[in-house]
């Protein structure tokens, strides 16, 4: 089955996330740091009249050294338990990738990586956003809607 | 014409590390030197403030009032009800905050989750309860 993915960039790395999660791509958004926050959850922004957690995807994937808040784009994503804002460096147009081109992740070094695409030697990994945000939710002790 | 409901908050400290408490729940504000008793130590929340003054806020709870020892300037903030946004549990649980005040969509200050403080009876609370007595207060130099 074909996959519809949004390519996103975090520093030098490109990743795919499933396009159905994506609500909007914004620029830099004003945010407020959360008191006693953890590294993966540094702050909160306001989107369409609601408070939305700012999730540092680069930190949670272990691939970025820069501060999430300094990234020029903010990706708004919907997941099973709410909405989250992901600071990213860039995004490209949604792509349709044939299912057979996506292979299971080799090595499993990247957390939440499910499948990967070899693009002329450059490996782009698909991120399981649902699992990542669900784990973050669980770690925070939240039981209800996460966003 | 419908009049928009306004809410008032006592704000402690300076942005971005300020914290707001619904003014209707604040029974009294005491200078720290005028208070003797046990108070939750929330001074870390206002640590970024230039104003190092300390106060004890006496806030309403379902039982005995809760005493909050805070650091930083105090201010009164009025916000439209529509600008006071409920925090998702993912954020609120971590921060012990219930709402976000966001005038014109810009996040400004978190509102302390008084209901949770009340329910917890300080169990699991990130702020320790300390006895505030005259000998804990700074002597004039």
Domain assignment present for residue B87? The answer is yes
Q: Give yes or no for residue B136 having a pLDDT over 60.
A: no
Query: Distance between CA atoms of B78 and A21, rounded to whole angstroms?
Result: 36
User: Is residue B15 in some structural domain?
Assistant: yes
Tell me the residue range of the domain where A118 lies. Answer: 3-140
What pLDDT is stored for residue B139 in this prediction?
Answer: 47
Instruction: Provide the mean pLDDT of chain A.
Output: 90
- Taking alpha carbons only, the member of B30, B114, B106, B41 closest to residue B74 is B30
Chain B residue with Cα closest to A49: B105
B19 vs A contacts (CB less than 8 Å): 35
Does B98 map to a domain? yes
The reply to whether B112 falls in a domain is: yes
> Residue B43: pLDDT above 70?
yes
Q: In this predicted complex, what is the ipTM?
A: 0.86
In this prediction, residue A70 has a pLDDT band, given cuts at 50, 70 and 90, of: confident
Q: Is the pLDDT of residue B40 over 60?
A: yes
Q: Does some domain include residue A78?
A: yes
- Which of B76, B72, B63 has its CA nearest to residue B122? B63
Q: Which residues contact A98 (CB under 8 A, 6 or more apart)?
A: A2
What is the reported pTM?
A: 0.88
DSSP B82: G
Please give the tally of structural domains in chain B: 1
Check residue A9 and give its pLDDT.
Answer: 96
The 8 Å CB, 24+ separation contacts for A61-64 are A61/A10, A61/A15, A61/A110, A61/A111, A61/A112, A61/A127, A62/A110, A62/A111, A63/A10, A63/A11, A63/A13, A63/A110, A64/A10, A64/A11, A64/A13
Q: What residues pair up with A127 in beta bridges, in sequence order?
A: A113
Question: Mean of the pLDDT values across residues A47-72?
Answer: 89
The answer as to whether A145 is a domain residue is no
Using CA coordinates, name the residue in chain A closest to B108: A32
Distance of CA A142 to the CA centre of its chain: 19
Please state the rounded mean pLDDT for residues A99-109. 86
Note which residues in 19-58 of chain B have CB less than 8 A from chain A.
19, 45
Task: Please report, for chain B, how many H helices and E strands are present, in that order.
Answer: 2, 11
Assess B125–A contact: CB distance below 8 Å, yes or no.
Answer: no
Q: Which of B93, B99, B107 sits opposite A140 (nearest CB)?
A: B93
Task: Place A146 in a pLDDT band, splitting at 50, 70 and 90.
Answer: very low
Over residues B59-114, the pLDDT tens digits come to: 998 888 999 999 989 999 999 999 999 999 888 888 899 999 999 999 999 999 99
How many domains does chain A contain in total? Answer: 1
Q: Return the residue matching tokens 């991120």.
A: A127
Domain annotation covers residue B140: no
How many Å apart are CA A75 and CA A88, to the nearest integer?
Answer: 7
């Amino acid at each position: 089955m074909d996959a519809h993915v949004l390519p996103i960039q975090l520093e030098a790395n490109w990743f795919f996330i499933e396009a159905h999660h994506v609500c909007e791509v914004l620029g830099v958004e004003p945010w407020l740091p959360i008191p006693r926050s953890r590294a993966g959850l540094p702050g909160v922004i306001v989107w369409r009249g609601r408070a939305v957690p700012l999730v540092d995807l680069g930190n949670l994937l272990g691939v970025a050294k820069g501060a999430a808040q300094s990234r020029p784009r903010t990706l708004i994503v919907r997941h099973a338990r709410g909405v989250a804002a992901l600071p990213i460096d860039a995004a490209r147009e949604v792509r349709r990738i044939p299912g057979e081109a996506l292979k299971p992740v080799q090595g499993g070094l990247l957390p939440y990586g499910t499948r990967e695409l070899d693009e002329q030697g450059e490996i782009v990994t698909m991120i399981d956003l649902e699992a990542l945000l669900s784990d973050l939710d669980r770690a925070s002790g939240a039981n209800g809607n996460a966003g | 014409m419908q009049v928009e409901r306004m809410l008032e908050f006592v704000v402690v400290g300076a942005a971005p590390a300020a914290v707001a408490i619904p003014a209707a729940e604040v029974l009294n504000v005491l200078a720290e030197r005028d208070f003797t008793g046990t108070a939750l130590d929330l001074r870390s929340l206002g640590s970024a403030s230039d104003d190092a003054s300390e106060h004890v806020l006496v806030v309403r709870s379902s039982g005995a009032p809760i005493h909050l020892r805070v650091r930083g300037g105090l201010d009164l903030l009025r916000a439209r009800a529509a600008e006071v946004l409920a925090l998702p549990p993912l954020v609120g649980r971590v921060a012990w905050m219930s709402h976000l005040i966001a005038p014109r969509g810009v996040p400004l200050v978190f509102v302390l989750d008084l209901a949770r403080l009340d329910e917890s009876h300080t169990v699991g609370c990130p702020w320790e309860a300390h006895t505030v007595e005259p000998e804990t207060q700074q002597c004039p130099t």
